[in-house]
Amino acid sequence: MEMKQKWAFIFFASLFPPALAVKPTLSTTEFKVSGEINPGVCSVNIHGDGVHYGNMFLKNVSSITSDEIELGTKSIAYSIQCPQKAQVWLMLDDNYAGAVPELWGDKYFGLAPGKSKDGENINLGGYQVTLTELYIDGDSAGLVNDMAGKPITPGRFVVYSMDKIITTGKVFTGLFNVKAKIINPKLIDMDSAVNFSGSARVTISYY
């Protein structure tokens, strides 16, 4: 019995020689570890489809002179949602920048050109935009350089802040307040309806 065991061991040993007796052949491959950490995208939402003055009668307009008609102020709410805390900068670009009367300066957005009594293309006027009711994550906020409530300049960023310091947050809210006026009403046929419109592009930058 002892011999059989010994022989069997020697037999199997001859089938499997020591590893050092034969140099192994190596084959290699690799795997990669990769990915991307994405900060996510902040999005802006205008709560409504625009600022509507509706049908207005001249007798109900509070301020009319030979040079201009002031149409009062209308407001629309907006919100900016971010997936993580960020600093938010906001800018409005005027889609009718060339239609702003030069004498009004750089803080007006233009209204689309209209027609004069003689059928000529004329600038109808413009509007100013202020930002109020500003909040960051539900807390009262402002704008850098005390711009809250003041007319903003088209094409320039305003920055959310608290205590005059740029502040991060996830939810930024506020009101766009639009104050429009018509220029040179004496050149317009005021005996018929005068349609006016304007638009601005909202851009946000966040860090």
Burial of 188 (0-12, 13-18, 19+ CB in 10 A): buried
Tokens of 153: 């300049």
The answer as to whether 121 is a domain residue is yes
Tokens 């002892």 sit at which residue?
A: 2
The answer as to whether 22 is a domain residue is no
The answer as to whether 19 is a domain residue is no
Q: What is the pLDDT of residue 105?
A: 83
Domain that holds residue 158: 43-206
Q: What is the pTM of this model?
A: 0.78
The answer as to whether 2 is a domain residue is no
The answer as to whether 23 is a domain residue is no
Report how many domains make up the chain.
1
**CATH number, domain containing residue 54:** 2.60.40.1090
For residue 61, pLDDT beyond 90: no
For residue 62, pLDDT beyond 70: no
The answer as to whether 164 is a domain residue is yes
